[in-house]
């Protein structure tokens, strides 16, 4: 049960340092959610790990700790593991620098604070063809492609003490493998219907900072609408591939 005066939530955010505007938007969303939940400034911490760069620290009324870490280039895996070692919150939230929380997210998590794993829905309309994840159908809820760390609020005792931190370093699918491990080893799991986050909500705020997946998506949408790649005002995926060949 949450106790007054404790750090209730640690927000874990890896960043390449290339998206300062998106990162600020992500942090702003945490602050809005914390204020809506009535959290004191000492009840939440935001931990940001910059991957091999000296990043621009965002501002917030809540504590933000930034770490300029050695270059990892591992989809944020090593960065997350490092941040977990300094996290103090009872619960962990994994928020990438181009995603955001909904204003009521932390309020929802507080209502189910005794659960070791809380799984909510996320808005994925900006990233995928499906409007939200996870899809609760006849298949397994926790399966690859149906869930993301943004969907989850997890106990630090589960992740750090019992599971040994962020595992499966060096693997692109590390997110899913860690989620599956937490889900299987959790003493209690609560699934809620609320939308707790928005995936890719900050993707267009910083020029030339799109991921390869985001560029592929926008290229496909442009093709469907009859817009030439040359009119997009940015390098195409093919151009980047040739430049790095």
Burial label for 44, CB within 10 Å (0-12, 13-18, 19+), is: buried
Report which of 178, 4, 1, 13 is spatially closest to residue 83, judged by C-alpha positions: 13
Which range (139-143, 214-218, 221-225, 234-238) has the least confidence? Answer: 234-238
Determine the pLDDT at residue 204.
Answer: 85
Angle at 201 between CA 128 and CA 69, to 5 degrees: 105
Q: pLDDT confidence of 39, banded at 50, 70, 90?
A: very high
Query: What is the model's pLDDT at position 244?
Result: 37
| DSSP letter for each residue of 35-87 | HHHT--GGGEEEEEEEESS-------SS-EEEEEEPP--STTHHHHHHHHHH-
| CA distance linking residue 88 with residue 73, whole number of Å | 25
Contact 208, 233 (CB under 8 A): no
Class of 9-198 per CATH? alpha beta
Q: How confident is the model at residue 245 (pLDDT cuts 50, 70, 90)?
A: very low
> What residue segments make up the domains of the chain, in order of their start?
9-198, 212-243
Residue 217's pLDDT is 55
Q: What does pLDDT average to over the chain?
A: 90
pLDDT band at 242 (very low <50, low <70, confident <90, very high): very low
| CA distance readout (Å), 98 to 17, 29, 162, 191, 213 | 11, 11, 29, 24, 13
Number of separate helices (H) and strands (E) present in the chain? 7, 9
């Amino acid at each position: 049960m949450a106790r007054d005066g404790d750090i209730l939530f640690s927000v874990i955010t890896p960043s390449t340092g290339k998206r300062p505007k998106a990162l600020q938007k992500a942090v702003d969303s945490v602050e809005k959610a914390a204020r809506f939940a009535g959290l004191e400034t000492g009840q939440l911490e935001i931990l940001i790990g910059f991957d091999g760069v000296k990043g621009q620290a965002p501002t917030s009324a809540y504590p933000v700790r930034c770490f300029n870490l050695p270059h990892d280039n591992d989809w944020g895996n090593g960065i997350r593991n490092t941040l977990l070692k300094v996290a103090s919150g009872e619960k962990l939230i994994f928020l990438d620098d181009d995603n955001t929380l909904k204003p009521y997210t932390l309020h929802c998590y507080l209502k189910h604070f005794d659960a070791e794993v809380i799984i909510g829905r996320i808005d994925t309309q900006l990233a995928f063809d499906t409007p939200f994840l996870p899809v609760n159908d006849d298949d397994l809820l926790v399966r690859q492609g149906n869930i993301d760390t943004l969907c989850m609020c997890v106990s630090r005792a589960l992740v750090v003490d019992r599971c040994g931190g962020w595992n499966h370093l060096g693997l692109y699918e590390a997110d899913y493998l860690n989620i599956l491990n937490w889900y299987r080893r959790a003493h209690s799991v609560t699934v809620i219907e609320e939308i707790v986050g928005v995936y890719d909500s900050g993707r267009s705020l910083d020029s030339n900072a799109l991921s390869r997946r985001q560029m592929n998506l926008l290229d496909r949408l442009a093709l469907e609408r009859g817009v030439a790649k040359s009119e997009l005002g940015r390098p195409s995926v093919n151009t980047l591939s040739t430049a790095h060949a």
